[in-house]
Amino acid sequence: MNLYREKGDENVPLYNKLKEHRTALGMNQTEMGKLAGVSRQTISLIERGDYSPSVTLALKLARICQVTVEDIFVYEEDE
Amino acid sequence: MNTGKRKSPSIKFVLKMLMWMLIGGILGFAMSWFGGQTDRAGQFFAVVVRSVQSAMIPLVALVTVSGILFGEIVLKKIKQIEEKLRHAEDEECDELEYQEEYIGAWGVNGSNFAMSLAILITSVGYSRTYISGSEETAFRFVIAIVIFVVCFFYEGLWQMRYVKVIQSSRPEFSNADPSSVKFQEQWMESCDEAEKEMIYYSSYRTYLFLSKVIPILLVAAMLSNLLFDTGMLAIVLLAVLWIMTSMYYTRSCVNMRKKRARG
């Protein structure tokens, strides 16, 4: 019953650099999850690209990392 | 741009209906043959019912003991995983949490399966004809019911213990009281957005599954009544369940739309 892994939508060209920003801050997923008000699992899902966060959560994560949302999340559409 | 000719939805619908009619015809032909065998089938089921009635106590005891053993093994494994999770790194946590969810799902399904099986076995003796048959059958039935209650009591407690183990590592869920009737709502309130999405997704998949399975069971109940005179109750219950499932789903959609429209 691994719904997390099934959910990954490879057609959505959304990439993220959350892991890089998190490790630069010296935080683990649990600590970042606590600051953002979500579980460690949710941070892990976002980092793996298996879950696209809401605008609110994306803004919260950007604020924690002290960068803009676009610095973490990249939308690359093929022409 | 897709230039290929596509069949219109109404043609597709007619073709599908024709296919189902063909399947119905084949099924009807098979049933007309099987109809001649109903006496034998009836005798066979009567033998099955009598066998289960005579072995009701050992069978329900077996289900209870197996349920207890399975439940304890699952809980022990989950506790071991929880212990590992306390000291695990992020990457290891993903794998361990998957294992925990997988084993937990087996545990919950095993628990529900044990309860369903216990109901099924005791239901065979749950008839006035059987209970009033003799003092011995009445006594046997009482013993089976006592074991059945033990089974239900244990499985209910097991599910609460399972929740408590999860809550020990996820304190954000500690507001959810497993003994409360509002437990599911309380649990949902403690979930974050990704967890809620997973619950919505699983619920919709369950709804789709039920929308397919209930009509099939309804047809099976109708055929069973036709061939074995099993009565209308199963048909009525399944029809009510079908209507209720569909109505509850559409009602939820309309309510949500109304809520959003109001802002």
Report percent pLDDT > 90 for chain A.
68
- Structure confidence at residue B175 (pLDDT): 81
Which range (A9-23, A33-47, B195-209) has the least confidence?
Answer: A9-23
Nearest CA in chain A to B92: A44
pLDDT surpassing 70 at residue A79: no
Q: What distance in Å separates the CA atoms of residue B194 and residue B163, rounded to the nearest whole number? A: 20
A7/B195 Cβ within 8 A: no
A42/B202 Cβ within 8 A: no
Helix (H, G, I), strand (E, B) or coil at B54: helix
CA dihedral B14, B18, B19, B23 (to 10 degrees): 150
- Residue carrying the six token digits 């399904």: B109
Tokens of B18: 């024709």
Is A39 an interface residue toward B (CB < 8 Å)? yes
Mean pLDDT of all residues in A4-16: 56
Min Cα separation A58/chain B (Å): 12
- Strand-pairing partners, residue A14, are A75
- Structure confidence at residue B4 (pLDDT): 54
ipTM over 0.85: no
For helices A40-48 and B193-228, angle between their N-to-C axes, nearest 10 degrees: 90
Within 10 Å of residue B183's Cβ, how many Cβ atoms? 15
Query: pLDDT for B2-41, tens place per residue?
Result: 555 667 778 888 888 899 888 888 877 777 776 666 677 7
A53/B195 Cβ within 8 A: no
List of chain A residues whose C-beta atoms are within 8 Å of the C-beta of residue B201: 3, 7
Tokens of A26: 């010296």
CA dihedral B158, B159, B160, B165 (to 10 degrees): 90
- Check: CB of residue A36 under 8 Å from CB of residue A25: no
The chain-wide mean pLDDT, for chain B, equals: 88
Min Cα separation A67/chain B (Å): 22
| Residue-level pLDDT, tens digit, chain B, 263 residues | 455 566 777 888 888 889 988 888 887 777 777 666 667 777 787 888 888 888 899 999 999 999 999 999 999 999 999 999 888 888 889 899 999 999 999 999 999 999 999 999 998 877 777 777 788 888 888 999 999 999 999 999 999 999 999 888 888 888 888 888 889 889 898 899 999 999 999 999 999 999 999 999 998 899 888 877 788 999 999 999 999 999 999 999 999 898 888 76
Mean pLDDT of all residues in A42-57: 93
A7/B193 Cβ within 8 A: no
- Check: CB of residue B144 under 8 Å from CB of residue B125: yes
Q: What distance in Å separates the CA atoms of residue B14 and residue B10, rounded to the nearest whole number? A: 6
Nearest CA in chain B to A50: B194
Residues of B with CB under 8 A from a CB of A: 89-90, 93-94, 97-98, 101-102, 105, 170, 172, 192-195, 197-198, 201-202
Tokens of B94: 């993903």
Of A5, A30, A38, the CB nearest to B194: A38
- Structure confidence at residue A8 (pLDDT): 44
List of chain B residues whose C-beta atoms are within 8 Å of the C-beta of residue A44: 90, 93-94
- Structure confidence at residue A12 (pLDDT): 59
Min Cα separation A29/chain B (Å): 6
Is A26 an interface residue toward B (CB < 8 Å)? no
